[in-house]
Every structure is written in C-alpha cells, then in structure tokens.
A and B are shown apart, each in its own frame.
Chain A
Amino acid sequence: MAGRSAGSAAATVSPLTAGVDRTDLAVPSAADESALAVLDPLRPLLPDGLRRGSTVAVRGSTSLALAVAAGPAMAGGWIAAIGWHDVGRSQVGLLAAHELGVSWRRLVLATSPFDRRQWATAMSVLVDAFAVVVVRPTLPISGTDARRLEARARQSGAVMVVSSPVDARTGTIVGVNNDKRLRSAWPTPPDVELRVLASTWEGLGHGDGHLQVRRALVEVSGRGRSSRPRRAELWLPTARGEVELVEASPVDPPAEPSEPEIASPLTMEPAAS
C-alpha cells in the first residue's frame, strides 16, 4: 500500500488499482507544460497561453484580470488571490469571478498584510504553491521584492497576474492608501501587459434597461515573443457575465508609430465613450 495516510473518505480501495502508488504513474498534466491555458476568447491576444513563471500586468479592468486567471482555473489549477478582500477599499466581486470562469472550488483568498515584509513573505508562500496568483497591490512594491518574487515564480512555475482597476476612486478610499505611491502597480516591466484601451457599455437607457454587455478593446504588449502589440475586441462581460470575442476582430494596430503612451493606469481615460 502506498504511504498515504487514511485520507479522503470519498476515495476507497478499488480492487483494480489497489497497491499501485499513483505517484509512480502520474498522468501528464497541464502542470508539466511550459504554459498555462487561456480561455478561447483570449487566444488571439495570448496565442501561446500564459508562460509559466511569467508576470502579467492587467491594467484598466478587474474583469480582464479575472478572465486571464479563468483559463488556468478551468484547466484545474489552484488560484490564489491576495488583496481582493481588504477592509477599507473595494473588493473583487466573487460572483463576477465565478461568472468569468474562476471556480470557487479552487480559489483561496488572502488579505493583504499592511507590513511590506509580511506582504513579500505571504506572496512568496503563494507563488510557491499556486498555479496563478492574482495580486491587487495595496502597498508600493519595492523593485527588490518584485525581482525576488519573479525569480521565485520562475522557479515554481507560477504566473503572477497583477491587476489594477480602471481608476483611482475604485482602487482606494481616501485616507487608507496614498494613490500616488500606487501609480506603478508593479515596479519592474512585466513580461506581458494587457490593457483596456476603450470600452463601451450597452443596455442602459434613461431610466430603463440594465447593464448588459461591455465591448472592450484590449491590447497586449510585452517582451520577447509578445513584443508586437496585438489587439482584439472582447465582450467583457457578455450578458451572462462571461467573456467572448467580438466577431470581425482583431483590429490590427495602426501603421503609425503607436498610440501615445499612457503614463499611469490610474489616470487613464478610455478613448471611446
């Protein structure tokens, strides 16, 4: 018999498999591959998936960060969330996360410690164990901490998703955190950066209707293979709260040099109304 102690009661001895240690014959799983899966609608943006050990910055939309984490979650990966449920500021809507595909069954939430050293320790524990760590920074992160965590993530194969919301007023409440210090959510350049360039909501009238869908233009840029920016239009979310590709996309980036660089996620204004 294997060395497992009397464990889960749901699994009992099966006469056919008794005596075979499951660790001897591990099924090749997504965990062994070099990239984590992404949801189908995000494939035009991230054709290679999420490279293990990479850092993904998502700017301008919490839903987009959730949609990025939903791919590995659907594939059976465990997701850690830090800073989602802190007192004194907005919290990530868990129902929205569920609608986008982040299963609650494999989701663990940690509150963000206010001490910088503790935050770094907590992060390193999460990065060691989970497939994806979705971070909402509460403190300014030092460059040293960030580099150390990146190295740790490369070692363990975890993906860090750093999310920053659309504007300052939702991120923090006056008196708890100083907005300016949070301007750059992640101090070092991330491997991949996704941002919402423009979005329009549909469904609201003047006293009638209700919010139904949002059409969002998302751009991805980054280092290495993903250095060429890609764009796609997404329903983020659809009327069921999921994410879908808008047909007749992607929109190629213009031939001109590029859009004016957006200095900060906190001061970003979506281009279209």
Chain B
Amino acid sequence: MSRRQPHEQAVRRLVLAVPDWPTVAAGFLPHEPAAVLVANRVIAATPAARAAGVETGLRRREAQARCPDVVVVEADPARDAREFEPVVATLADLCPRLEVFGPGRCGFPTRGPSRYFGGDAALADRARQTVQAVVGERAAVRVGVADGLFAATLASESSIVDADASSPDRIIVEPGASATWLASLPVTTLAQPDEPDTDKMVPTDLVDLVTRLGLRTLGAVAALPIGDLAARFGPPGVVAHRLASGFDMQPPNPTPPPADLAVEVTFEPPVERVDTAAFAARSLAEELHQRLSDRGEACTHLLVVAETEHSERMERCWYHGTAMSAGTMAERVRWQLDGWLHGSSTARPTAGITLLRLAPEEVVAAVGTQLRLWDTTDTAPEKVVRAVARLGGLLGPEAVTVPEWRGGRQPDEHVATVPAGAVDLDGNRTATEPPMISRDPDLPPWPGRLPAPSPALVFAPCDQPPVTLSDDSGALVQVDGRARCSSSPAELCVNGNDRQRVVAWAGPWPVVERWWDPTIGRRQIRLQVLTDDGVASLLVLEQGQWSLAAVYD
C-alpha cells in the first residue's frame, strides 16, 4: 500500500444497485415475505420480510420466529448472476465501460457519460429509469453518484441513508464532498456483512475493535493520522482510513497493463455448452493468474470477452474488491456465459462460442491473502484440487463432477452434476446443498415431490428398465384418466427377469409437469411397490409403459 499522494482524487463513479437482489433473482415479489440464506444466515430479504423484522445476519430460526410466513431459500450466486444479465445488458447500452461488481450491483465512471447526458442528476435518473423498466415491479432500483467507489456504493444502498434526501431513489454527492458526506455514517459500514463473497473490505473484527475504541463514525476514523492506523493495524488499517476519507481501497493505477497479458482460447468446433466453456475458462484463468503473479501483480478488473461463430460478441468487465484468484475469475466467466447462453431468446447468441478472452483491465500489486490460523471454511485441501485436475485430464472434463442442487419433482432432475473443473472448490459454494425444505411433499417449492426417505438408486430416464406389472389374473395393471388402478398389482417382472410377488404397494400418484410445452412436458403415474424379496421400488407409467425409476436400496 503506497502512501496517498496529496493531490490524489478519487474517480467519480455511478453505482446502480438493486437492494436484496438474491430475493429478486429467486423470483419473489416485494410483498411476499422471503429471505435468502447463506450458511443459515439471512443475506437478503424482501421488503415485506424486512417490515416484519427480518434483518441481514439473522439465523434461519430467528427469522422464522419474527416472521412465521417467511419463505427461506438457499443462495445461488449463479442464478443471481444469470438473472442480473438483462439488467447489465440494458445499462451497457447507456455506457460501454460498465463494471459489474457482483450480482445486483454494477456501475461505471461518470466523467464521459455525465457530460453526454447533461450532468450527474440527469445521468442517474436516466440509468435508474432504464433499469427500472427492466426490473419492473420486482424491485426498486437505486442509484448513487459520488467520488470513489466506496462512497458511491454507500450512496446506492437504501439502508444507509434515511428519508432526508429529496429523491430517495438516487443520491448524488457533490464532487469533492465524499469525505464530508461519509463523515457522519457509522463505522460499521466499512465491513459489509451482506457481502458474503467478495468485497469484505475491512475485516469485521477490526471494525468491532475500532467501535470498542470509541470511533463510531467514519469521520472519526478519517480524522486519525494514517500512520498511526498503519502502525497499529497494518494494511487493513490503511484501507479503513482510505475508505473513510472517501478514496478507493487502492490508489488508482493509471498505467494500463500491457496487452500481452491477456489470454485467449479458440474453440474448434464451437462450444455450445456453458460447462465446457467454463472448464476451458478455468485453465485460462489459471494461466492469467500465473502470468500476473510472475510479475507480482493481481487483477481487480477483469474483462471477459466471448465471441460466437456468427461474430456475436459479448464483453463484460468484472470488478472485484480484493485481488481475484483463478477460481474467482473462472466463476465470473461461468456467470457471464450462463447469463448469455440461457438469457432471453432475443439476446441469446445464435451459434456456439469460438473465442474466449480474459484481459486484466486494472492490476494492483499482489500483497497476498493471508488465511486465518484456524480457518473454519470448507476449503478444499490442495491435494483434492490437484486430484480433480489430474482426473479431468485423464478421463475428460465431463467425467469429474460435483453435485449441485436444482430442485424438481423427479429423482433424477433435482440434482445436476457440474464439472468440478468449472467450479471454485476452494470457495464458498452455496448452491451445492439441497435447501432445508419442508418434510411435507405437498408444500412448495416442489409440491408433488417424492417424500423422504429418498431412493438410494435411481435410473436416468433413458436407462429405466422396462417392467411388467400384472394382477392376480395375469392381466397388466393399467391406470385410468382419474389415476385409478384397473386392479391390484400382484406380480412384478423387471427387464424379463424372474417374477416377484408384490406384497405391498402405494399409489398411483399422477404427475403432470409443464403441460404447456409438449417438448418438455411430462405426464406420468408413480407407484411404490414392495416385492416378496424385500426390495422396494418406484415404478413409473409413462406413455403406456411401466418402467423402474428407482430402487430403495
């Protein structure tokens, strides 16, 4: 951390935020009480839930005690990023040099756009209205303009500023006034508890300590000599002072990094799937990370460019408060491609991806990130990461996977397997665990799912062995349009093997899914049967044919 130059001036920026984006991305409307959890703590809640007392950082039980109707869902950064892509795309029409800080938050330096649109206020209103048109009823968009990213971010956060501003949806801090505007804000704003992933700018325990020392506002921190903070707290103390004074974490680095640092990969034949591209992005990110660390640098702004066979092009600039690791870069590439390839049909590319390019836009000196002495996070041991990479090379990237929760009614569709090379095994993977869902299979989010216990062996739809199910007289069991069996099942024959007597059975349960789309719609009947050899199975009847869907082994 170099000493601040007396004439240093923070870059004036606009930050656009959609408060509690994870709840919006999860599909909740403002009047529905809902909260999104990471590691059993609330990270986002809808306005209705907040009105009932649900706050960021509460445990699940506490949140449910305060608001019994609250619906809790697990966080899914990939979904957040995918849903945020249309917002980013709209804003990118307004200003090309857009930076995405994370799902729900993006911004850009205002110098050029502000002149073009006739002032900060006009620009802020324009940006807000444009994005609000995309988000619609789902959430209120907020905009903040100030010198320095930290002040602009705070200006865009609803919880910080009360109704004293004339227009509560946008706050514009006059040029040069960031430090005065920040001075009255509480010191706790330095650590962002609701940012689980990225921008924990100052460690929470440092903020706690500073508060206990009696420094309750940012102004009080900024008034201290920077040397004393550096001597007592080291680099985090310097960062705290810089932020409190209205500067960015790092002094701006005006020299653009040399262009030869960028890495790219071309695909031949073009890649159609996000997973495959993300796997390539992983090794690309590692290469870039290696090149940067060879120079003793780390990347804070990363430009990700993807091109398709039909020359469609998509580029996004990703911002990360601290230096990006290879896993962080790869994850952002995956988010971007996911949002593009699975986006709305108008914005979706018409061909496979042929080129992927990662370029560092802004680099800082790598100071390293020190892990805590007793780290409680689930970081993957290095040998596991190595083994995964080795197996990926040995068996192919698709062969080594990790499970990810998707949700659904069928035993084979609620979990997806994602190539392990495309995820950050070290990071806080939040979508990996099934959410805490109600034990009652008739309740949302997937009414009609199979009740627990779940079958230990399942068959993919293409692999389900055909079975014959017959009654005492030997006639095949059929199910009518009202989901009633023609007769009691008595004998089961799987795949032409020996016949087994059915000793108990339950059902039939009709499942009709996505009837509006004949290509993906499913219409089936489920039946649980127990045969006299002690094996319990799940049978499904689809298009007149019974087959074995799962075995409770």
Q: Determine which of A5, A80, A93, A126 lies in contact with B454 in the assembled complex, contact meaning CB atoms within 8 Å.
A: A93
Asked whether, in the complex, the Cβ of B505 is within 8 Å of the Cβ of A12, the reply is no
A96-B453 contact, Cβ under 8 Å, with A13-B235, A240-B439: yes
> A225 on the interface (CB 8 Å rule)?
no
Complexed CA–CA distance, A138 and B506 (Å): 33
Asked whether, in the complex, the Cβ of B388 is within 8 Å of the Cβ of A108, the reply is yes
**Count, A-B residue pairs, CB within 8 A:** 300
Most chain A CB atoms below 10 A, which of B368, B391, B426: B391
Minimum distance in angstroms from A130 CB to a CB of chain B: 7
Asked whether, in the complex, the Cβ of B427 is within 8 Å of the Cβ of A10, the reply is yes
> A208 on the interface (CB 8 Å rule)?
yes
Minimum distance in angstroms from A166 CB to a CB of chain B: 5
Q: Determine which of B233, B383, B404, B426 lies in contact with A128 in the assembled complex, contact meaning CB atoms within 8 Å.
A: B383
Asked whether, in the complex, the Cβ of B391 is within 8 Å of the Cβ of A110, the reply is yes
Interface-side segment among A46-54, A186-194, A195-203, A254-262: A195-203
Q: Determine which of A90, A111, A273 lies in contact with B457 in the assembled complex, contact meaning CB atoms within 8 Å.
A: A90
Asked whether, in the complex, the Cβ of A107 is within 8 Å of the Cβ of B457, the reply is no
Complexed CA–CA distance, A72 and B390 (Å): 24
Asked whether, in the complex, the Cβ of B402 is within 8 Å of the Cβ of A104, the reply is yes
Complexed CA–CA distance, A172 and B366 (Å): 53
For window 1-49 of A, CB contacts with B under 8 Å fall at: 1-2, 4-20, 22, 25, 27
Asked whether, in the complex, the Cβ of A9 is within 8 Å of the Cβ of B236, the reply is no
Chain A residues positioned under 8 Å from B458 (CB to CB): 90-93
Asked whether, in the complex, the Cβ of B394 is within 8 Å of the Cβ of A121, the reply is yes
**For the side of the interface on A, what is the size category?**
35 or more
Asked whether, in the complex, the Cβ of B460 is within 8 Å of the Cβ of A87, the reply is yes
Minimum distance in angstroms from B217 CB to a CB of chain A: 21
Chain A residues positioned under 8 Å from B236 (CB to CB): 12-13, 15
**For the side of the interface on B, what is the size category?**
35 or more
Residue of B nearest to A113 (CB): B395
Asked whether, in the complex, the Cβ of B457 is within 8 Å of the Cβ of A170, the reply is yes
A204-B506 contact, Cβ under 8 Å, with A87-B463, A169-B495, A239-B452: yes
Complexed CA–CA distance, A125 and B298 (Å): 32
Chain A residues positioned under 8 Å from B510 (CB to CB): none
Complexed CA–CA distance, A130 and B425 (Å): 14
Interface-side segment among A60-68, A146-154, A226-234, A245-253: A60-68
Residue of B nearest to A8 (CB): B426
Asked whether, in the complex, the Cβ of B399 is within 8 Å of the Cβ of A110, the reply is yes
> B135 on the interface (CB 8 Å rule)?
no
> A137 on the interface (CB 8 Å rule)?
no
> A98 on the interface (CB 8 Å rule)?
yes
Q: Determine which of A76, A87, A125, A210 lies in contact with B387 in the assembled complex, contact meaning CB atoms within 8 Å.
A: A125
Q: Determine which of A4, A9, A76, A94 lies in contact with B198 in the assembled complex, contact meaning CB atoms within 8 Å.
A: A9
Minimum distance in angstroms from B424 CB to a CB of chain A: 8
Chain A residues positioned under 8 Å from B534 (CB to CB): 166, 198-201, 270, 272-273
Q: Determine which of B325, B375, B381, B401 lies in contact with A78 in the assembled complex, contact meaning CB atoms within 8 Å.
A: B381
Minimum distance in angstroms from A152 CB to a CB of chain B: 13
Asked whether, in the complex, the Cβ of B454 is within 8 Å of the Cβ of A85, the reply is no
Chain A residues positioned under 8 Å from B375 (CB to CB): 11, 22
> A237 on the interface (CB 8 Å rule)?
yes
A273-B532 contact, Cβ under 8 Å, with A13-B234, A22-B371, A165-B551: yes
Asked whether, in the complex, the Cβ of A209 is within 8 Å of the Cβ of B463, the reply is no
Chain B residues positioned under 8 Å from A2 (CB to CB): 368, 370-371
Complexed CA–CA distance, A266 and B412 (Å): 25
Asked whether, in the complex, the Cβ of A95 is within 8 Å of the Cβ of B379, the reply is no
> B507 on the interface (CB 8 Å rule)?
yes
> B459 on the interface (CB 8 Å rule)?
yes
Asked whether, in the complex, the Cβ of A166 is within 8 Å of the Cβ of B535, the reply is yes
For window 465-517 of B, CB contacts with A under 8 Å fall at: 465, 485, 488, 494-497, 503-507
Asked whether, in the complex, the Cβ of A6 is within 8 Å of the Cβ of B427, the reply is no
Chain A residues positioned under 8 Å from B205 (CB to CB): 14-16
Chain B residues positioned under 8 Å from A7 (CB to CB): 325, 369, 371, 426
Complexed CA–CA distance, A78 and B387 (Å): 12
Chain B residues positioned under 8 Å from A145 (CB to CB): none
Complexed CA–CA distance, A208 and B460 (Å): 26
For window 514-553 of B, CB contacts with A under 8 Å fall at: 528-530, 532-536, 548, 550-553
Complexed CA–CA distance, A268 and B536 (Å): 15
A109-B197 contact, Cβ under 8 Å, with A4-B369, A78-B384, A211-B528: no
Asked whether, in the complex, the Cβ of A210 is within 8 Å of the Cβ of B506, the reply is yes
Chain A residues positioned under 8 Å from B92 (CB to CB): none
Asked whether, in the complex, the Cβ of A108 is within 8 Å of the Cβ of B452, the reply is no
Asked whether, in the complex, the Cβ of B387 is within 8 Å of the Cβ of A5, the reply is no
Minimum distance in angstroms from A97 CB to a CB of chain B: 8
Minimum distance in angstroms from A54 CB to a CB of chain B: 20
Complexed CA–CA distance, A122 and B400 (Å): 10
Chain A residues positioned under 8 Å from B324 (CB to CB): 6, 9
Chain A residues positioned under 8 Å from B404 (CB to CB): 104
Minimum distance in angstroms from B511 CB to a CB of chain A: 14
Asked whether, in the complex, the Cβ of A214 is within 8 Å of the Cβ of B197, the reply is no
A106-B378 contact, Cβ under 8 Å, with A10-B200, A78-B384: yes
Complexed CA–CA distance, A125 and B495 (Å): 36
For window 92-136 of A, CB contacts with B under 8 Å fall at: 92-99, 103-111, 113, 118, 121-122, 125-126, 128-130
Asked whether, in the complex, the Cβ of B325 is within 8 Å of the Cβ of A170, the reply is no
A173-B415 contact, Cβ under 8 Å, with A5-B368, A201-B552: no
Residue of B nearest to A203 (CB): B506
> A143 on the interface (CB 8 Å rule)?
no
With A128-B383, A165-B553 known, 8 other A-B pairs at CB within 8 A are: A11-B375, A96-B454, A104-B433, A108-B384, A111-B398, A170-B553, A211-B530, A211-B536
A-B contact pairs, 12 of them (CB 8 A): A5-B289, A8-B369, A22-B371, A94-B403, A95-B411, A105-B433, A110-B399, A111-B395, A204-B505, A205-B504, A210-B451, A270-B533
Residues on A lying within 8 angstroms of B by beta carbon are 1-2, 4-20, 22, 25, 27, 61-63, 66, 76, 78, 80, 85, 87-99, 103-111, 113, 118, 121-122, 125-126, 128-130, 165-170, 173-174, 198-201, 203-214, 237-241, 269-270, 272-273
Closest 5 CB pairs of A and B: A129-B387, A204-B504, A241-B453, A237-B453, A62-B456
